[in-house]
Structure 1
Amino acid sequence: MLEKLLRIRDPELHRWIADVIRIAKPAKIYLITSEEDFEYVRQAALRNREELPTRYSKHTVHFDGPRDLARDRKNTRILLPGGEKIPFINTYDRDKGLEEIKELLKDIMHGREVFIGFYCFGPKKSPFTLHAVQITDSAYVAHNENILYRVCYDEFVEKAPNLHYARFIHSAGEKDENGWSKNIDKRRIYIDLHDYTVYSVNTQYGGNT
Structure 2
Amino acid sequence: MSSKLEALNGWVAQVADLVQPDEIHWCDGSEAERERLVAQMLATGELLELNPETNPGCYLHRSDARDVARVEHLTFVCTEQREDAGPNNHWMAPAEAKAKMAELFRGCMRGRTLYVVPYCMGPIDSPFARCGVEITDSPYVVVNMQLMTRMGEAALARIEREGSFVKGLHSIGELDPERRFIMHFPEELTIMSYGSGYGGNALLGKKCHALRIASWQARQEGWLAEHMLIVGVQNPAGQTHYIAAAFPSACGKTNLAMLIPPETHPGWKVWTVGDDICWMHPGADGRLWAI
TM-score higher than 0.5 here?
A: yes
Aligned residue number for residue 109 of structure 1? 109
Counterpart CA distance in 1 for 2:44 and 2:24 is: 15
Query: 1:146 aligns to what SS in structure 2?
Result: helix
Deviant stretches of 4+, over 3 Å: 82-85
Deviations 1:4-50 (A, max 9, x none): x1xx3211111110111000011012211132322122223223332
Aligned residue number for residue 156 of structure 1? 156
Aligned residue number for residue 225 of structure 2? none
Bigger Rg over Cα:
2
Aligned residue number for residue 33 of structure 1? 28
Counterpart amino acid of residue 135 in structure 1: I
Query: 1:69 aligns to what SS in structure 2?
Result: coil
- Residue 156 of structure 1 deviates from its aligned partner by 2.8
Whether the 8 Å contact between 1:120 and 1:132 is mirrored in structure 2 is yes
Would you say 1:203 and 2:202 are equivalent positions?
no
Query: 2:69 aligns to what SS in structure 1?
Result: coil
Query: 1:184 aligns to what SS in structure 2?
Result: coil
Which consecutive residues of structure 2, in runs of 5 or more, have no partner in the other structure? 203-291
Aligned residue number for residue 47 of structure 1? 43
Question: TM-score w.r.t. structure 1 length?
Answer: 0.87
Whether the 8 Å contact between 1:132 and 1:167 is mirrored in structure 2 is yes
- Residue 170 of structure 1 deviates from its aligned partner by 0.9
Would you say 1:61 and 2:80 are equivalent positions?
no
Counterpart CA distance in 2 for 1:195 and 1:122 is: 21
Greater CA deviation, 83-92 or 196-205?
A: 83-92
Q: Label 1:48 to 1:138 Cα distance change in 2 as closer, same or farther (>3 A).
A: farther
Whether the 8 Å contact between 1:45 and 1:143 is mirrored in structure 2 is no
Which consecutive residues of structure 1, in runs of 5 or more, have no partner in the other structure? 175-180
Query: 2:119 aligns to what SS in structure 1?
Result: strand
Number of residue pairs matched?
Answer: 197
Aligned residue number for residue 100 of structure 2? 100
Identity %: 26
Q: Which has the higher contact order (CA 8 A, sep 6+)?
A: 1
Counterpart CA distance in 1 for 2:164 and 2:184 is: 17
Counterpart amino acid of residue 57 in structure 2: K
Deviations 1:141-190 (A, max 9, x none): 1111111111242343365263332111111112xxxxxx2x21010100
- Residue 65 of structure 1 deviates from its aligned partner by 1.4
Aligned residue number for residue 69 of structure 2? 70
Counterpart CA distance in 2 for 1:83 and 1:159 is: 31
